[in-house]
Structure 1
Amino acid sequence: MFFDDLAGTISSFGSARRQSWATRWTEIGDAQCLRADLKIKQMAFDEATEAWLCGLTAFEVARRLADDGDPKRDDISAKAEANIERFGPPLRQNIERVEITCCDEAGFQAYYLPAGSHDSRAPAVICIGDEQESGATLLGRLLPAVAGRGMSVLVVSHDDVAGRPDVQPGSLLSCCLDYLVTRPDVDAARIGTYGDGVSAALATDFTVSDNRIAAAVCDGGLWNWARMLASVGWMTKLANENDEDGASRLRSRMVRRLKCPVLVVAGGRSLVSTSEAVKLQAECSAEHVDIDLAVPSIIRVASEEIDNFISSDESIFGWLEYKLSQSDCAWGRQTECVSGPVMMSTTRESLDPSKPS
């Protein structure tokens, strides 16, 4: 509800109002964490967990409201990270810092959150953060979205997998997958990947190069398509020939190489424009390629866009939960899983396959 009213609030009161809201949401996060502490002392662990997750969500709202370059953003991220470490153990959230090793290359650390279910072998998702977003920040944002879904998550930062000129990101991400496969609590046939923001392109390349992925939230190859169009030669060729069939083949070339269900998130902070994503989905539908489309709710304030990450994350992880729960979509049987084209809303109800989308 706050996000729905945000555009009018900021338009009416300006940047000062926005900063006031950032401060207020930080205070809400602090208050929720104090409540979690109190409930732990009272042995009311369910209420403590709820308060803790609400606190993490409040901190993320505050971080997005803070202006770019505002030191408050780093301070808020530090608060979220500190509260993850503080409340994880007493609330039985066994968040692990794990070392990912890759052949002879230097390894890196990631966060691992087990499913916490009675299922001894649960699905897992490799989550790759956006640029300039630490793994801890992404984990704090995703914890409320993955709670209770019966899936494990391995959270890695964008810089750890894309900031090394000597190693391809796909190789490092395959090492993440190798790590998950060796865990006794992970079902190797039900591992997905999610690339946030610019990392959506990394998730696409990774899924193309490693056919063990059972479901992917990625850009469907549209970032490579956009870079191709940025070339003067390609732009001239397409403009002169007016070859929409040729453009269609190029646009869907990458996604046709993906052998698992795909969700493309378009608009907002995504690399993908909504119009190109809609074209891609229509073309893939005609070829019986399993691709869905999610368009997050975007709040436009002056020249800036703020996405409603709460509803967006609910949709994304609801989709992953549904796709990874289908036995027919297990590793090695992805080609049998073809769903109809869907324009996903950002509500969990739209993920019910028995309801029209």
Structure 2
Amino acid sequence: MTAFEVARRLVDEEDPQSGDVLAKIEASIQTFGALEQKVEQAQIASSDQTDFLAYFVPVANRNGLAPAVICISREGETAATLLGRLLPTVVGRGISVLVVSHDDVSSRWRGQSKILLSGCLDYLLVRPDVDTTRIGIYGEGLSASLATDFAVSDRRVAAASCDGGLWNWTRTLASVGWMTRTADRSGEDVLSSRRLRLIRQLRCPVLVVAGGRNIVSAAEAIKLQADCTAARIDLEVAIPRIVRTPAGEIENFVTSDESIFGWLRHKLTRNLAP
């Protein structure tokens, strides 16, 4: 699965071979579903009657309840594409995952994305193998912003790998014409205060993934982390490594995924007995 993901990133999206790689990823997922740890197709229903399909990967051979993470793909990527990349990372980690497509849960009108993600959470809440007090959320690309908004709106989210509100924050700054690089120290204090006001709405531990293909700049994420450290807010920043190849720069998604899901597992299981 990792090799297929590397091939997908090396092939141009408009290249005919790109479709072949995606087809092989989906075929591999179907094969994986025949193994001991099955991949299940989940029908997600929401309160606005908008149903869609997702993938659920339960923890194999576990007695009792397991933590779970809602994973939202990057814009333009299917749930199968994200699942194909994450399978080698999540297997054996002791957490279940529910993988959904950005296109299925994003919306043009405010509030619907939260309704659709609430449907994902409701699906997990009724499963007999999920610990309902240990549900996290993870979003890639623009979905990192969706993950933030949902974690703010639903206090049942126990950990969030998201953008920490920085995407909406950046758009707000642009809309009012503020300059973030200012020599005025009082201006920096105002910016820090406003950043903290946003992050305090998140009542769970937060991991912000910045740089690379992510929507959050590393510099802004580091500023936010410094503010949160001073305010004793549980926020960490992860910056993916970039690998240089003859075909160009590729984000080292293997180490990045290991870091993200290692953090999620730690936050979702730290108060549980082994």
Provide TM-score, normalisation by structure 2. Answer: 0.93
Aligned positions of 1:29-48 closer than 5 A: none
Deviations 1:98-126 (A, max 9, x none): 11111242211100010113232100000
Q: Which has the larger radius of gyration?
A: 1
Aligned to 1:144: 88
151, 154, 164: which one pairs with 1:210?
154
238, 242, 248: which one pairs with 1:294?
238
Partner Cα separation in structure 2 for residue 240 and residue 111 of structure 1: 50
216, 219, 222: which one pairs with 2:166?
222
6, 9, 14: which one pairs with 1:69?
14
Partner Cα separation in structure 1 for residue 61 and residue 249 of structure 2: 37
Partner Cα separation in structure 2 for residue 68 and residue 239 of structure 1: 43
Partner Cα separation in structure 2 for residue 233 and residue 150 of structure 1: 46
Aligned to 2:65: 121
Matched-pair contact (CA < 8 Å) for 1:123–1:186: yes
Change over 3 Å in CA distance of 1:83–1:277 after alignment to 2? same
SS in 1 for 2:219: helix
- Structure 1: tracts of 5 or more residues without a match: 1-55, 329-357
Aligned positions of 1:249-264 closer than 5 A: 249-264=193-208
Matched-pair contact (CA < 8 Å) for 2:73–2:140: yes
Deviations 1:119-139 (A, max 9, x none): 321000000000111001111
Change over 3 Å in CA distance of 1:151–1:228 after alignment to 2? same
Matched-pair contact (CA < 8 Å) for 1:192–1:216: yes
SS in 1 for 2:117: helix
Deviations 1:227-266 (A, max 9, x none): 1122253349x78896111111222322111101100101
Provide TM-score, normalisation by structure 1. Answer: 0.72
Matched-pair contact (CA < 8 Å) for 1:221–1:252: no
Partner Cα separation in structure 1 for residue 213 and residue 92 of structure 2: 27
Is residue 24 of structure 2 the alignment partner of residue 79 of structure 1? yes
Moved more, 264-273 or 162-171: 162-171
Partner Cα separation in structure 1 for residue 137 and residue 167 of structure 2: 17
Partner Cα separation in structure 2 for residue 166 and residue 210 of structure 1: 15
144, 147, 154: which one pairs with 1:200?
144
Matched-pair contact (CA < 8 Å) for 1:268–1:305: no
SS in 2 for 1:275: helix
- Structure 2: tracts of 5 or more residues without a match: none
Partner Cα separation in structure 1 for residue 179 and residue 263 of structure 2: 35
Identity level (%): 59
Aligned to 2:187: 243
Deviations 1:159-194 (A, max 9, x none): 000046486211111111111011110000000000
Partner Cα separation in structure 2 for residue 160 and residue 304 of structure 1: 31
Which has the larger share of helix? 1
Moved more, 166-175 or 131-140: 166-175
Partner Cα separation in structure 1 for residue 249 and residue 176 of structure 2: 29
Aligned to 1:42: none
Partner Cα separation in structure 1 for residue 240 and residue 72 of structure 2: 18
SS in 2 for 1:252: helix
Is residue 210 of structure 2 the alignment partner of residue 266 of structure 1? yes
Partner Cα separation in structure 1 for residue 246 and residue 262 of structure 2: 31
Q: 1:327 corresponds to which letter in structure 2?
A: N
